[in-house]
Structure 1
Amino acid sequence: MPHTNRDGAGGEPGELTVPMAWLYAEYIAEELLRTGDLMPPTSFEYRAGRKALALTIFLSDAEGELAGIRVITQLDTWLSLTAYDRPWQDWVRERLDVLGAEAAAAGGTGPDLALAQAAWRWLEETELLAPDLDAVLHEGGARPEEEEQPQVWTPAWQLGLPLGHLAISLF
């Protein structure tokens, strides 16, 4: 369904709305991950990292100035939000709820928010088979061979978030 307004820019009726804030957040996330060269860009883990980073970037833009931000000035904020000890998923849910309520009060959800919500649904609902990091090591503390490591199905955001955090810290 095409959107026909331009997020307050006063566009012509019937004009297609371009989700520039979301596209810019995805672009920044892609560049951070590509620069870090941590994972093949065709892998599901990379996709999860890109979506988690894009959500972090998009949702941390409280002032609506995403297109004008300087990446360097935001790195510390993004590192803090993606840190291991932070409840990132709760923060995402809260921010999406707030933005959704604001959009509903303004008359509807824009394309940026719709894409962010779709990314969050994918991250939450998609599970990837990953090494079980909580598994007990083999006897004597030796690390098992890769094919012998126990694996568990893990929500995509739990794999993408650390990948994104690492990409930010390597930038």
Structure 2
Amino acid sequence: MPPERTNGAGGTGGGLAVPMAWLCADCLADELLRAAGLAPPGSLEFRAGRQTLALTVHLSLPPDAPGPKARGRTAGRAEEWLRRTAHARAWAAWVEERIAGRLAAGGEDDPDLDLARGTWRTLTGTWLRATDLEGLATTGPGCRVDESVQVWLPAWELGLPLAHLALRLR
């Protein structure tokens, strides 16, 4: 059976399935992170933030949506994305729920979902060394971060605050 969405090459049927929703989400995430200037493009931090934000954008859309820009509702969705990226543990559980739900709904052959699943595997399987913000005492205005105290984090834990800040700075 030919895929439902094709790139138009080769006439009717047999065309290559194009993951438009994922590509739109990834493009939007890239634009937001570049505009925010929180990490140099090409760095591991930037990549983690872009992938985290792309997952958030993509999984917040209905499974059959062509993408956030095509729907013309980016501004309204940004508030939802801000809420989603505000709490790390809730975000990770939400991502796993959304992926599982789409798989259960028959998304095994969905190229967008394949890319989202691969991105989630990359974000959970890649560990980065970063400043320990968990041990930060947040009492008073003299609070300082000791950047010499570092920990290993899965990439999504570093990417999530970058994604959240990029959304705030938009």
Range into which the TM-score falls when normalised by the shorter chain? 0.7 to 0.9
Aligned residue for 2:37?
A: 37
Rounded Cα–Cα distance in structure 2 between residues aligned with 1:87 and 1:28:
23
Deviation, structure 1 residue 103: 2.1
Change (3 A) 1:144 1:23: closer
| Structure 1 segment 114-125 matched on structure 2, within 5 A | 114-125=114-125
SS in 1 for 2:168: helix
What is the CA deviation profile of residues 136-161 of structure 1, one whole-angstrom value per residue up to 9, with x for unaligned ones? Answer: 78xxx885764xx1211100000001
Which TM-score applies when normalising by structure 1? 0.83
Letter in 2 for 1:62: P
Q: How big is the alpha-carbon RMSD for the aligned residues of Structure 1 and Structure 2?
A: 2.6
Gapped regions of structure 1 (runs ≥ 5): none
Partners of 1:26 and 1:135 lie apart in 2 by 32
Q: How does 1:157-168 map to 2 (within 5 A)?
A: 157-168=156-167
- 1:157 maps to a residue whose letter is W
Contact 1:6 1:16 in 2 (8 A): no
Q: 2:103 aligns with which of 97, 100, 103?
A: 100
Higher relative contact order (CA 8 A, sep 6+): 1
For the pair 1:87 / 2:87, whether they are aligned, the reply is: no
- Residue among 75, 78, 81 paired with 2:78: 75
Q: Which residue of 1 aligns with 2:53?
A: 53
Q: Verify: 1:28 aligned to 2:28, yes or no.
A: yes
Q: Which runs of 5+ in 2 are unaligned?
A: none
1:129 is displaced (CA, Å) by 0.4
Residues in 1 aligned to 2:3 and 2:47: alpha-carbon distance in whole angstroms: 30
Report what 1:6 is aligned to: 4
Query: Contact (CA 8 Å) 1:5, 1:12: kept in 2 or not?
Result: no
| Structure with the largest fraction of helix | 1
Aligned residues: 161
Q: Could you tell me the percent identity over the aligned residues?
A: 47
What do residues 17-64 of structure 1 show as CA deviations (whole Å, max 9, x unaligned)?
110000000011011101111110111011010000000000000263
Q: Tell me the amino acid that sits aligned with residue 162 of structure 1.
A: P
Given that 2:19 and 2:112 are in contact with CA atoms closer than 8 Å, whether structure 1 keeps it comes out as: yes
Q: Distance in 2 between matches of 1:5 and 1:40?
A: 38
